[in-house]
Structure 1
Amino acid sequence: MWSRILKPRVIGRTAFYWRSLFTMQLNTSEFKSLFSEGLKGLAELFGKHQHELRIAGGAVRDLLSGKRPDDVDFATTATPEEMKQMFQKAGIRMINNKGEKHGTITARLHNENFEVTTLRVDVQTDGRHAEVEFTTDWQKDSERRDLTINSMFLGLDGTLYDYFKGYEDLKERKVRFVGSAEQRIQEDYLRILRYFRFYGRVAPEPDRHDPKTLVAIRENRRGLAAISGERIWTELKKMVVGNHADHLLELMYSLELVQYLGLPPDGNVEEIKRVWQKAKDHSPKPMTILAALFRRPEEVERMDLRLKVSKEEKTLALFLVKYRQELCKSREEPDSLKPFTDFIIDSRELDTQSKVCELLKYQGEEKLHAELSGWSVPRFPVNGHDLRRMGITSGKEIGSTLQDLRDVWKKRGYQMDKDELLSHVKS
């Protein structure tokens, strides 16, 4: 049910919202499955000390969508100091309390970690970080969150607490900022990318954006320059493997965001649209999709300078840019896996097979990808010791002979054993 809904009043640039609370009961199997011995113990402890404890944010969104969340965050009216005293008195171990200054305490009960955060309000923000003040007001904490669908709380009795029509937006599959889009973005410019990521998760159609939201994003795009590359990549790599990724990347180009993200200004948008359509149903790695934007290896290097991607991700991007044309054009027969397996056999890198699998996803070669995924790299049965025992002692001759034998072995489909191969040396 909804309680009385009133419009916000604005003082300066900050909107102060009057009470507008929607509540309902949730009693699904996904919700019930969360109640492990650890959570029961946590709930009992907070109840004993008369502190409210609720599930917060993304876990609530997932539960309302009929999904069991992978991670569950909790919010409470207890301060960090009150939580510490409570856990210490109960003999409960606390771990990884780096988030304490922001109100987060992690407790370990029954071999489970529970991250609990005190309700907060942002006192001051610079677009990257916020100075917070603790509160006991659930709506004020909800007010400071990014999107309406992420601003809800769920009591452990199944009561939903929704102050900004998040449940209604979730049912209608809308993605909206809480209150003013401009204000939410200026509190943390990374929310621009979070908007796109969640649009891909929630919206049923590629182009149902509120024009005012896109205006706010465009006008505040420069704020992304101050966001760390690691934070940007965390959001971007989730977005590029989600729904509507081709549309969203094209939109990001039209809104002139890419220069702040390390992506090439003349990125190949048409190629990424083609690749995403072919690869989206085959669990591509984020870089498999994003590599379609790059026309030259130097663009991968510039992207890495900005985003600080992992060595594995950078290597995959460079591999795809180099071999997406060269390797695929080398096939004499369209459905032949042989050029790819030969390439893997000849490679000295350990993860070549996984890279070639991503290349086949990139090219939309579903059948070949399925075959290569189930293929085990055969071991070449001859080595230098075998040739020395036959009287070949020159290192140069051993090397050339091994290469000749390897070529014969590949032509015979990697089926020849050691004796068969060595017979070629004798002959």
Structure 2
Amino acid sequence: MDEVCRWASEGFTTLCHGSKACQALPILRLRQPLLPVPVRTSSVQDTSPMLLFQRKAGSHKAQAPSALPNKRGSTLGSAAYTGPDLRREFSALQGLVARLRLLPPRRWRRGEAGAMRLQTPQFQALFTPGLRSVAELFEKKNYELRIAGGAVRDLLSGMTPQDVDFATTATPAEMKEMFTSAGVRLINNKGEKHGTITARLHEQNFEITTLRIDVVTDGRHAEVEFTTDWEKDAERRDLTVNSMFLGLDGMLYDFFNGYEDLKNKKIRFVGKASARIQEDYLRILRYFRFYGRIAEKPDDHEPTTLEAIKENAKGLAGISGERIWVELKKILLGNHVNHLVRLLYELDVAQYIGLPLNGSLEELDRVTKNVQNLCPKPMTVLTSLFKVKDDVTNLDLRLKISKEEKNLGLFLVKHRQELTKAVGPEPLRPYQDFIMDSREANTNSKIMELLKYQGEEHLLKELQEWTVPSFPVSGHDLRKMGVSSGKEIGTALQQLREEWKKSGYHMDKEELLSCLKK
């Protein structure tokens, strides 16, 4: 205990998972704010988290990572410690803490704060020849490079990220000079003014952004300055689960308890919700999008967050419809859709994003149940709010939806009540007949969305297995039978189509032509 007291008095504490042993050690709860300082193990194979915490107000400047070699000749993690050499001291502390059962099992895990090392198949799969080449270039120049934002969140969730963004301490000018000298092709120069350089190596694009701080914001865009402070960059991000960084050695850097929130399925803004929202009002919708993606319960919101959203909802009026539609579509495809859309109305958000003022929330409740596990299009779900066609038109005016999306909305509003399954042995027939009679494009796809809307899962599967048949008779066949007039051919073809339809589209050419002979 005396040894733990000595470490506590020097400003360090150990990793804790809320065990009884930890609760019995009040000396580990220090008055001063602590910063995470990961210390790499000496073994390359050891992936257990070895964590220390450093006083925020220290008298020593952090040493560069390259100045901290370990016994195997590699370097320590880039989040360096201050003060005396800690290897020997930490080894003794680790043994003591292990005896007190304060350390977690020896696999990657993180406690209430700090860092961890991640070694998963999804993480290892990122190391393509292109990424290895990028990493070598940054290492030669002694620039720090880490995975940032959503990719870190996905990796921690056991998912393979679709897009991987990188953050660095190098400025855009330094990156351009580095890549140009190495003969690396640079593309998409538009991002340079925002600090982003896109390099292409081994047929792969790498989007790398300099650490930034916001200087001026107007609720839509921000003027930024570059920095080398990782925490300052994390501070400007929207949600805690999106504010983490992951070193290429697998070390997690988490300044705002994002991993704890991810593990507990909590969605929180970084710092004050109002401040983050006012930097970019679209973050209101991003909050709901990630809530539907991560949160387990439909109503696990912090009251202060909802208050901040309601107070700032009007700011969405200045956000472009295209940006709003991107986020709204993702909300509609997530979990807790009916609960989240109700909140959009209760918090006065709906009126600023094109939703009808008197949207049918009861129909939304019914449809969200119908479409479960059926992979509906966002417009299919959203149409449940619309009572008349004008609601679709007004949405289009605000959000600039695609022609296909608008047509689907209009189609569902028109046919959701009148086109229903038949009573009897062929319940799918009304939908099949509609497809065969229609001359509109994508009718088959629209009918499938209608079946999802109506919750007709079995009919949907039947329709998906049904191949739209081709009418077997042509005008040429009728001419060979002596029908010469164009008008007569048209009339005959229509009569034969009706016979074919009555047969359930089973009659072949000979059977149909025999009907004509009679």
Per the normalisation by structure 1, the TM-score is: 0.94
Q: Distance in 1 between matches of 2:209 and 2:342?
A: 37
1:397 aligns with 2:473: no
Match of 1:321 among 413, 423, 436: 413
Q: Hey, what does 1:34 align to over in structure 2?
A: 126
Describe the shift of the 1:409–1:57 C-alpha distance in structure 2 as closer, same or farther (beyond 3 A). same
Tell me which moved more, 101-110 or 386-395.
Answer: 386-395
Which amino acid letter does the alignment assign opposite residue 149 of structure 1? V
Q: Hey, what does 2:459 align to over in structure 1?
A: 368
Instruction: Give the SS at the match of 1:177.
Output: coil
What do the CA deviations read for 1:67-101 (whole angstroms, capped 9, x no partner)?
11111110011111111111111111111221111
Q: Hey, what does 1:162 align to over in structure 2?
A: 254
Describe the shift of the 1:261–1:334 C-alpha distance in structure 2 as closer, same or farther (beyond 3 A). farther
1:216-255 alignment to 2 at 5 Å?
Answer: 216-255=308-347
1:348 aligns with 2:376: no
Max Rg structure: 2
Q: What's the CA shift for 1:21? A: 6.6
1:9-20 alignment to 2 at 5 Å?
Answer: none
The 8 Å contact of residues 278 and 364 in structure 1, kept in 2 or not, is answered as: yes
1:419 aligns with 2:510: yes
Describe the shift of the 1:279–1:386 C-alpha distance in structure 2 as closer, same or farther (beyond 3 A). same
Percent identical: 65
Instruction: Give the SS at the match of 1:24.
Output: coil
Q: Distance in 1 between matches of 2:361 and 2:426?
A: 28
1:378 aligns with 2:466: no
Q: Structure 1: where are the runs of 5+ without partners?
A: 8-17
> Which one has more relative contact order, counting CA pairs under 8 Å at least 6 apart?
1
Match of 1:122 among 209, 214, 225: 214
Instruction: Give the SS at the match of 2:296.
Output: coil
Match of 1:144 among 221, 227, 236: 236
Match of 2:300 among 208, 216, 222: 208
What do the CA deviations read for 1:383-419 (whole angstroms, capped 9, x no partner)?
2232233333443332222121111111112122222
Q: Distance in 1 between matches of 2:212 and 2:466?
A: 53
Tell me which moved more, 417-426 or 197-206.
Answer: 417-426
Match of 2:282 among 190, 201, 208: 190
Match of 2:398 among 286, 306, 317: 306
What do the CA deviations read for 1:254-289 (whole angstroms, capped 9, x no partner)?
111111011100011111111111102111111110
Q: Distance in 2 between matches of 1:350 and 1:419?
A: 30
Per the normalisation by structure 2, the TM-score is: 0.78
Q: Hey, what does 1:109 align to over in structure 2?
A: 201
Q: Hey, what does 1:5 align to over in structure 2?
A: 33
CA RMSD of the aligned region, Å?
Answer: 1.8
Q: What's the CA shift for 1:175? A: 0.3
- Structure 1's consecutive aligned runs of 4 or more residues displaced over 6 angstroms after TM superposition are 1-4, 18-21
Q: What's the CA shift for 1:334? A: 7.8
Q: Hey, what does 1:72 align to over in structure 2?
A: 164
Q: Distance in 1 between matches of 2:33 and 2:371?
A: 46
Count the aligned residue pairs: 416
Instruction: Give the SS at the match of 1:121.
Output: strand
1:410 aligns with 2:491: no
Which amino acid letter does the alignment assign opposite residue 146 of structure 1? D
Describe the shift of the 1:334–1:299 C-alpha distance in structure 2 as closer, same or farther (beyond 3 A). farther
Tell me which moved more, 99-108 or 181-190.
Answer: 99-108
Which amino acid letter does the alignment assign opposite residue 46 of structure 1? F
The 8 Å contact of residues 21 and 161 in structure 1, kept in 2 or not, is answered as: no
Q: Structure 2: where are the runs of 5+ without partners?
A: 1-13, 16-29, 36-55, 58-111
